[in-house]
Structure 1
Amino acid sequence: MNPGWRRRAARTGDGGFTLLEVVISVVLVGIMMTALVSFFVSTTAILNQQRDRQVAVQLADSVMEGVRAKGLTIVTGRTAGNADTSTVPNVDLSTMSELDGGTFPTDRATVASVPYQEYVFLGTCGQVPSSSGDVPCTKLTSAQALAQHRILYYRVVVAVTWPDTQCGHGICSYATATLISCGTWTTTDPCVGTEPVFRVGSCVRDRADVPGGRPGRRGLRRTGPGQHRLPARGPGGPVRGRDHRPGAGDQRELPGHVRGVRERRDRRGALHGVAAAGIGRPVRSAGPARRAPAP
Structure 2
Amino acid sequence: MRPDHRRDRPGGADDGFTLAELLVAMSVVTIVMTSLGTFFTATVTRTAAQGNVSTAVQLVSDGLERARAIRGASLVTGRDRTATLQQWSAADSVVSPLLATMQQAYDPNPDGRAALLPATPVPVTIDGLGYTQSWYIGSCWQLRSGGDCTAVSSLGAAEFYRVVVEVTWPHRNCAGNLCTRVGTTLVSSTAADPLFVSGQSARPPTVVSPGAQVGEITVPVTLTVTATGGATPLSWTAQGLPPGVTISSAGLISGTPTAVGSYSATITATDAFDLVGIATFSWTVNALPTLAAIATQSSQGGRPITPLQPALTGGTAPFTWKATNLPPGLTIDPVTGVVSGTPTTVNATGSAVSITVTDSYKKTASVGFTWKVPVLVLTAIPAQTDSVGYAIPALTPDATWGVKPYTWKATSLPAGLSITTSTGEITGTPTTVGTASVTVTATDAVNTVKSTTFSWAIGPAVTAPGAALAGTVGSAFSYTSTAATGGTKPYVWSAAGLPDGVTIDSATGAITGTPTVSGRFIFTVTATAAAPRPATGSSIRLAFTVSAVGSGLKFATAPTSPLNTASGATVSQQVTGTGGKAPYTWGVTGLPPGLSMSATGLVTGKPTTVGTYTTQFTLTDSLGARARWTITWNIT
Aligned length: 180
Change (3 A) 1:84 1:18: farther
Question: What is the CA–CA distance in structure 1 between the aligned matches of 2:64 and 2:157, rounded to whole Å?
Answer: 25
Q: Tell me which amino acid in the other structure corresponds to 1:83.
A: Q
1:86-125 matched pairs, under 5 angstroms: 86=90, 88=92, 90-92=94-96, 93-99=99-105, 102-105=115-118, 106-125=121-140
Q: Tell me which amino acid in the other structure corresponds to 2:101.
A: T
Change (3 A) 1:89 1:111: farther
User: By how many angstroms is 1:82 displaced?
Assistant: 6.0
Q: Tell me which amino acid in the other structure corresponds to 1:184.
A: P
Larger Rg over CA atoms: 2
Partner of 1:176: 183
User: By how many angstroms is 1:114 displaced?
Assistant: 0.4
1:1-295 matched pairs, under 5 angstroms: 8=3, 11-13=6-8, 17-72=17-72, 73-78=74-79, 79=81, 81=85, 83-84=87-88, 86=90, 88=92, 90-92=94-96, 93-99=99-105, 102-105=115-118, 106-130=121-145, 135-140=147-152, 144-146=153-155, 149-181=156-188, 182=190, 183-187=232-236, 188=248, 190=250
Change (3 A) 1:24 1:145: same
Q: Tell me which amino acid in the other structure corresponds to 1:75.
A: V
Question: What is the CA–CA distance in structure 2 between the aligned matches of 1:11 and 1:30, rounded to whole Å?
Answer: 35
Q: Tell me which amino acid in the other structure corresponds to 1:172.
A: C
Q: What are the Cα deviations for residues 183-213 of structure 1, in whole angstroms up to 9, with x where unaligned?
A: 3341236389xxxxxxxxxxxxxxxxxxxxx
TM-score normalised per structure 1: 0.53
- Match of 1:67, SS? helix
- Match of 2:87, SS? coil
Change (3 A) 1:110 1:82: closer
User: By how many angstroms is 1:97 displaced?
Assistant: 1.2
Question: What is the CA–CA distance in structure 2 between the aligned matches of 1:18 and 1:87, rounded to whole Å?
Answer: 68
Contact 1:81/1:99, CA 8 A, preserved across alignment? no
Question: What is the CA–CA distance in structure 1 between the aligned matches of 2:143 and 2:35, rounded to whole Å?
Answer: 57
Q: What are the Cα deviations for residues 152-186 of structure 1, in whole angstroms up to 9, with x where unaligned?
A: 22100111111111111111121111001243341
- Match of 1:176, SS? strand
Change (3 A) 1:27 1:124: same
Q: Tell me which amino acid in the other structure corresponds to 1:77.
A: G
Q: What are the Cα deviations for residues 226-266 of structure 1, in whole angstroms up to 9, with x where unaligned?
A: xxxxxxxxxxxxxxxxxxxxxxxxxxxxxxxxxxxxxxxxx
Q: Tell me which amino acid in the other structure corresponds to 2:8.
A: G
Question: What is the CA–CA distance in structure 1 between the aligned matches of 2:18 and 2:65, rounded to whole Å?
Answer: 71
Question: What is the CA–CA distance in structure 1 between the aligned matches of 2:39 and 2:106, rounded to whole Å?
Answer: 45
Question: What is the CA–CA distance in structure 2 between the aligned matches of 1:49 and 1:165, rounded to whole Å?
Answer: 10
Change (3 A) 1:168 1:86: farther
Contact 2:161/2:186, CA 8 A, preserved across alignment? yes
Contact 2:141/2:151, CA 8 A, preserved across alignment? yes
- Match of 1:63, SS? helix
Question: What is the CA–CA distance in structure 1 between the aligned matches of 2:135 and 2:186, rounded to whole Å?
Answer: 13
User: By how many angstroms is 1:23 displaced?
Assistant: 3.1
**Identity percentage over the alignment?**
31
- Match of 1:42, SS? helix
User: By how many angstroms is 1:125 displaced?
Assistant: 1.5
Question: What is the CA–CA distance in structure 1 between the aligned matches of 2:64 and 2:104, rounded to whole Å?
Answer: 18
Question: What is the CA–CA distance in structure 1 between the aligned matches of 2:101 and 2:78, rounded to whole Å?
Answer: 22
Question: What is the CA–CA distance in structure 2 between the aligned matches of 1:41 and 1:171, rounded to whole Å?
Answer: 22
User: By how many angstroms is 1:61 displaced?
Assistant: 2.3
Contact 2:76/2:106, CA 8 A, preserved across alignment? no
Q: Tell me which amino acid in the other structure corresponds to 1:145.
A: S
Change (3 A) 1:86 1:25: farther
Contact 2:158/2:233, CA 8 A, preserved across alignment? yes
- Match of 1:108, SS? strand
User: By how many angstroms is 1:87 displaced?
Assistant: 6.7
- Match of 2:43, SS? helix
Q: Tell me which amino acid in the other structure corresponds to 2:136.
A: F
- Match of 2:45, SS? helix
Change (3 A) 1:46 1:58: same
Question: What is the CA–CA distance in structure 2 between the aligned matches of 1:184 and 1:100, rounded to whole Å?
Answer: 19
- Match of 1:154, SS? strand
Change (3 A) 1:165 1:124: same
Question: What is the CA–CA distance in structure 2 between the aligned matches of 1:27 and 1:89, rounded to whole Å?
Answer: 50
Runs of 4+ aligned structure 1 residues displaced above 6 Å come to none
- Match of 1:81, SS? helix
TM-score normalised per structure 2: 0.26
Worse-matched range after superposition: 11-20 or 39-48: 11-20
Question: What is the CA–CA distance in structure 1 between the aligned matches of 2:136 and 2:106, rounded to whole Å?
Answer: 7
Question: What is the CA–CA distance in structure 1 between the aligned matches of 2:91 and 2:24, rounded to whole Å?
Answer: 52
User: By how many angstroms is 1:19 displaced?
Assistant: 3.7
Q: Tell me which amino acid in the other structure corresponds to 1:168.
A: A
Q: RMSD over aligned Cα, in angstroms?
A: 3.1
Contact 1:82/1:100, CA 8 A, preserved across alignment? no
Contact 1:108/1:118, CA 8 A, preserved across alignment? yes
Change (3 A) 1:21 1:29: same
Partner of 1:221: none
Question: What is the CA–CA distance in structure 2 between the aligned matches of 1:70 and 1:64, rounded to whole Å?
Answer: 10
Report which structure shows greater RCO (CA 8 Å, sep ≥6). Answer: 1
Partner of 1:242: none
| More helix by percentage | 1
Partner of 1:279: none
Question: What is the CA–CA distance in structure 2 between the aligned matches of 1:60 and 1:176, rounded to whole Å?
Answer: 6
Q: What are the Cα deviations for residues 30-52 of structure 1, in whole angstroms up to 9, with x where unaligned?
A: 22222211111111111111111
Contact 1:99/1:121, CA 8 A, preserved across alignment? no
